[in-house]
Amino acid sequence: MLLNPLQTFVMVLAIALGSVLTRFTPFFLFPQKKDPPKLITYLGRSLPPAMMGLLVVYCLEGVSVTASPHGIPELIAILVIIAVHMWKNNVLISIGGGTIVYMILVQSVFS
């Protein structure tokens, strides 16, 4: 479906407005001079680990330990992520390193 210039402009404007609203709304709701509600503080502490757990479960849901390669590339990649994170304490480096190791394993070693 092709959009005419007006439709394209309205779509870009709606996306920009949505982005601006979602970025700036927390600053209006919770100014720096006021403490946020206890529920928001709790969610800020508990949701990031919960989301990481959900992502791990989602990534491993299709892995079969009964069929070749028995989840070995995934296990090696997870161990690399843990080791690099303990070594460098940097999420981007550890996830990036684990992804590179996993891609090398599934495309070269376990292909």
Q: Are residues 27 and 69 in the same domain?
A: no
Q: Above 90 in pLDDT, residue 102? A: yes
Residue owning tokens 């891609």: 103
Burial (CB < 10 A; 0-12, 13-18, 19+), residue 69, is middle
**Arithmetic mean of pLDDT, 82-102:** 96
Three-state secondary-structure class, residue 35 = coil
12 and 47 both lie in a single domain: no
Global confidence as pTM: 0.66
Task: Copy the structure tokens of residue 65.
Answer: 């330990």
Q: Judge if 3 and 23 occupy the same domain.
A: yes
Look at residue 103 in the predicted model and tell me its pLDDT: 97
87 token code pair: 């070594």
Average pLDDT over all residues of the chain: 94
15-61 pLDDT tens trace: 999 999 999 999 999 898 899 999 999 999 999 999 999 999 999 99
Question: Do 7 and 47 belong together in one domain?
Answer: no
Residue 27's domain comprises: 1-34
Residues 85 and 48 in one domain: no
